Amino acid sequence: MLSVLIVDDDKPLRDLLAEFLREHGHDAQTAEEGQTALDMMSKAKFDLVLSDIIMPGKEGIETIREIREFHPDVRVIAMSTGGSLGNAQILEYARMIGAHEAIRKPIELPALVEMIAEMFP
């Protein structure tokens, strides 16, 4: 069982991903933006963070940078619809600054499960 933190400003998506991951045997918690996620990470250990890129407050790129700096053992999957930069560019940038994987929204749940399984064999 992995401890997963889902960071996204879209509450229905956060809740859907958390429930889906729980159904697949993982402990899933949620945060609505990056600073909340980092605060949670200072108090609890997580194996994996799924982070949206574009969100109010502390956005995903900055959040991923801080996770890589302060929690180097935590795996990160960036997720985004892309916004004005376009999906491929922003997800590639997320990889460049430390995300281990990136997934496009809308997320195909079977692909997410497969990605996590490959990250944690």
pLDDT at 73: 97
Q: Based on the structure, what is the number of domains in the chain?
A: 1
Query: What average pLDDT does the segment 95-111 reach?
Result: 94
SS3 of residue 1 by DSSP: coil
Beta strands in the chain (DSSP E): 3-7, 27-31, 48-52, 75-80, 101-104
Residues in the chain: 121
Whether the per-residue pLDDT at 12 is higher than 70: the answer is yes
Are 58 and 41 within 8 A, CB to CB? Answer: no
pLDDT digits (tens, 9 = 90+) for 15-24: 999 999 999 9
- Which residues constitute the domain of residue 19? 3-119
| Average per-residue pLDDT for the chain | 94
Least confident piece of the model among 12-16, 26-30, 65-69, 85-89? 85-89
Task: Report the distance separating Cα 55 and Cα 64, nearest Å.
Answer: 13
- DSSP 8-state symbol, 17: H
Token readout for 2 is: 């992995």
pLDDT digits (tens, 9 = 90+) for 74-102: 999 999 986 555 557 888 899 999 999 99
Task: Report the distance separating Cα 14 and Cα 108, nearest Å.
Answer: 14
CATH number reported for the structural domain that contains residue 58 in this entry: 3.40.50.2300
